[in-house]
Structure 1
Amino acid sequence: MRAIYFDLDGTLLQFDEGDVVDAMTAAFEAVAGEARDEWLEAYNAGFLERFEACEPAPYRGGVERARAEAGFDGGVEETAAALLDAEIELLEPSPGAGETLAELGEAYRVGVLTNGAPEFQRAKLAAHGLHEHVDCVVASYEAGAHKPDLAPFELAERRLPADAYALVGDADADVDGAANAGWDALRYGGGELGDVPGDLGWA
Structure 2
Amino acid sequence: MTTTICFDLDDTVVHYPEPYKNIIRRTVEAHGIEYTDEVRAVSKEAFYTAFEALEPEPYRQSMAAVVEAAGADTDLDALVETLKETEFASTTVPDAARDSLTALATDNQLAIVTNGVRERQVAKLDHHGLTDLFDLFVASYEVGAHKPDSAPFDRVREELPADEYVMVGNEYETDVEGARNAGFVPIHYESGDDGGPDLWDSIDALV
Structure-2-length-normalised TM-score: 0.89
Q: Give 1:95 deviation, angstroms.
A: 3.4
| Deviation readout 1:105-139 (Å, 9 max, x if unpaired) | 11110011111100111111111111121112111
- Aligned identity (percent) is 35
> Is the CA contact 1:39–1:71 (under 8 Å) kept in the aligned structure 2?
no
- SS in structure 1 at match of 2:74: coil
Equivalent-residue separation in structure 2 for 1:137 and 1:94 (angstroms) = 20
Q: CA deviation at 1:192?
A: 4.9
Determine if contact 1:95/1:193 at 8 Å carries over to the other structure.
no
1:46-104 CA distances to partner (integer Å, 9 max, x unpaired)?
11111111111111011122234442332221111111211111111133212211111
Aligned length: 199
Q: Is the 8 A contact 2:190 2:199 kept in 1?
A: no
Correspondence for 1:179: 180
In structure 2, the partner of 1:194 is 201
Q: Contact 1:12–1:97 (CA<8 Å) still a contact in 2? A: yes
Equivalent positions of 1:42-191 (< 5 A) are: 42-172=42-172, 173-190=174-191, 191=198
Secondary structure of residue in 2 paired with 1:105? helix
**Contact conserved, 2:88 with 2:124, CA < 8 A, in 1?**
yes
How high is the TM-score relative to the length of structure 1?
A: 0.91
- Maintained 8 Å contact 2:100/2:204: no
Moved more, 81-90 or 104-113: 81-90
Q: Over aligned residue pairs, what C-alpha RMSD do you find?
A: 1.6
Corresponding letter in the other structure for 2:104: L
Q: Could you say which residue in structure 2 is the equivalent of 1:32?
A: 32
Segments of structure 1 that go 5 or more residues without pairing to the other structure are: none
Distance of 2:62 and 2:11 partners within structure 1: 22
Deviation at 1:13, TM superposition (A): 1.3
Q: In 2, Cα distance between the equivalents of 1:192 and 1:199?
A: 9
Any stretches of 5+ residues in structure 2 without a counterpart? Answer: 192-197
